[in-house]
Structure 1
Amino acid sequence: MGHGFSEGLVAHLPDINLVVDECILFFNGFRARYDADLPAFLYAESLGGAIALLITLRRDGIVPERRFDGVVLNGAMCGISDKFKPPWPLEHFLSIAAFLVPTWSVVPTRGYLPNVSFKVEWKRKLALASPRRPLLRPRAATAQELLRVCREVQGKFSQVDVPFLIVHGGDDIVCDPVCAEDLYNRAASKDKTLRIYPGMWHQLVGEPDENVELVFGEVVEWLLTRAERGVSAPVIGG
């Protein structure tokens, strides 16, 4: 299951739970080196958003005093947009392809991911030039697992109780902003904030500089406020 500098076949992700397990092990080990009172937050983009939600929903394996103080979800994969999914008949044959040719990069999405994610051209070219970037088309088993994960997290929206900030592009055609709104509305969290930015795309870092400064300025402010607040009572977000 390779991603970035990890081992394994690049962009092959047949079971998200193995990734969640590894993340929990890593975070537990890393945080054990520091004082338990030190605030800790998860920041996650796209597929990482779904992984972050699954991590916070785990009750087994996470040291109780090491739970997270908040989560920032940037363009989180709460649901894949119908504008990006494979055409309807092909989506229903995906399980067959995942069984027969799980590692084949054959799933026809509606547009290449970098082209519909990065608005600024030089940032899009930079993403395409990276030797560590994901494949232009997802592998069959990966595509099937991503759709399954979306169904799983959607079924658990009401169980989400961690403080969170959602930042999402209003014109994101990869991860559906409507699903992000659904998470906000259904989550049990008392401290939750939703920011949908009209006209922005999936990769908010791929926006013009003024948009990047707006979005990440809000992210930093949200984090600083909660880090300073520490263990005091949460404030209801807007």
Structure 2
Amino acid sequence: MSPTAKVDSDELRRLKDVNMDEAPARRHVRDSLKETQLNLDHILFKTPGNGIKTKESYEVNSRGVEIFSKSWLPEATRPRALVCFCHGYGDTCTFFFEGIARRLALSGYGVFAMDYPGFGLSEGLHGYIPSFDLLVEDVIEHYSNIKESPEFSSLPSFLFGQSMGGAVSLKIHFKQPNAWTGAVLVAPMCKIADDMVPPPVLKQILIGLANVLPKHKLVPQKDLAEASFRDLRKRKMTPYNVICYSDKPRLRTAVEMLHTTQEIEQQLEKVCLPILILHGKADRVTDLSVSRELYQKAKSSDKKIVVYKDAYHSLLEGEPDEMILRVLSDIISWLDDHSLQVEDGS
């Protein structure tokens, strides 16, 4: 099936033109495209859903924000461990991650994901992060409730962070140093690549403006799909992720991400849990050198880094099929080893 088999480009453009500042509009658009998305000719969507229990939920958290979440559980067996997903900037857990989650669930894992406030199907102004620390607290609250439930409380638990979600995962670890069995970090946003950041003078002007016009979309941005997806055929599928925030970053959001990466870069030696770091050598979005620095400085006794030659930023979505399968295999093998260690008591 071709990427444009069921929805023509005019319809996609019409959906893109919908004002998705607020969650109800994003939810309506997602409902319109849900089946089409899952039938795209992408290797992730070819993973069968048979044998997996899925559940979508909306719950109001302690800050009064309605959070969308989804879970994928093996139908016939108890999960061997929990995998809690932290998505990247602008993204949602309802598109490409569906195929990743199915792969993990079919390998025996209970997979949980949520959309951050202001992203995907969760409540909040689209693409707006007034405080990165508050976002992290929302994620901690959501996953703590899952981990503490009686059916899961005895299981190992892993963070799985992609891009900005890698920064979220590390911030969670700093706040909960002993709460997680390990973390998988895919192209983590420990530092935004210099090419993606405005020149120093403009950066200072934008930081000043963020105090006055925090929600305004004034930050210049390069084409993220072009910078992230190496496989041109898969790049053509990115417009189907219609509820992804793809406009210019809002000023406060950009400043919060910049400050977060500066903070993480200064605290790499505080990382003390088992980690798997995966990064593309040709990544132009997040900085490979800081992933290498994370590997070197982390005081974890159990740490591993894998750098994939020629690969771009979106290792699990935008690479040729054989690379996507290789990265998935590396993740599942690492999770298998570390779940087994916990079961064995080692």
Could you tell me which residue of structure 2 aligns to residue 133 of structure 1? 244
Of Structure 1 and Structure 2, the greater strand share is in 2
> Who is 1:148 aligned against?
259
Of 144, 148, 156 in structure 2, the residue corresponding to residue 39 of structure 1 is 156
Contact 2:160 2:185 survives alignment (8 Å) = yes
The runs of 5 or more residues in structure 2 that have no matched partner are 1-116
**Structure 1: 5+ residue runs without aligned partners?**
none
Write the letter of the residue equivalent to 2:231.
Answer: V
* Residue in structure 1 matched with residue 182 of structure 2 by the alignment: 70
Correspondence for 2:274: 163
Q: Per-residue CA shift, 1:181-215, capped at 9, x if unaligned?
A: 11111111110000111211111121000111111
Task: Report how far residue 96 of structure 1 moved.
Answer: 1.6
Q: Distance in 2 between matches of 1:153 and 1:166?
A: 15
Query: How much does 1:233 deviate?
Result: 7.0
2:207 is the alignment partner of 1:95: yes
Residues 127 and 133 in structure 1, CA contact (< 8 A), matched pair in contact too: no
Q: In angstroms, what is the RMSD of aligned CA positions? A: 1.6
Distance 1:232 1:151 in 2: 38
- Is residue 2:134 matched to residue 1:18? yes
- Give 1:117's match in structure 2, choosing from 218, 224, 228: 228
Change (3 A) 1:147 1:121: same
Matched residues, number:
228
Alpha-carbon distance between aligned partners in 2 of 1:202 and 1:144, rounded to the nearest angstrom? 21
Matched residue, 1:195: 306
* C-alpha deviation, 1:180, in angstroms: 0.6
Cα offset, 1:37, TM superposition = 3.0
In 2, Cα distance between equivalents of 1:212 and 1:99: 41
When Rg is computed on C-alpha atoms for both structures, the one with the higher figure is 2
1:7 and 2:120 aligned:
no
Whole-angstrom CA distance in 2 between matches of 1:35 and 1:91: 45
Output the TM-score relative to the length of structure 2. Answer: 0.63
Among residues 165, 170, 177, which one is paired with 1:53 in the alignment?
Answer: 170
Identity of aligned residues (%): 32
| Equivalent of 1:107 in 219, 222, 239 | 219
Residue 221 of structure 1 and its aligned partner are, at CA, apart by 0.3
Post-superposition Cα deviations, 1:114-165, rounded to whole Å, max 9, x if no partner, equal 2211112232222223221122321111111111000111111111101110
C-alpha distance in 2 between matches for 1:77 and 1:94: 20
| Counterpart secondary structure, 1:7 | coil
Higher fraction of helix: 1
1:215 paired to 2:331 = no
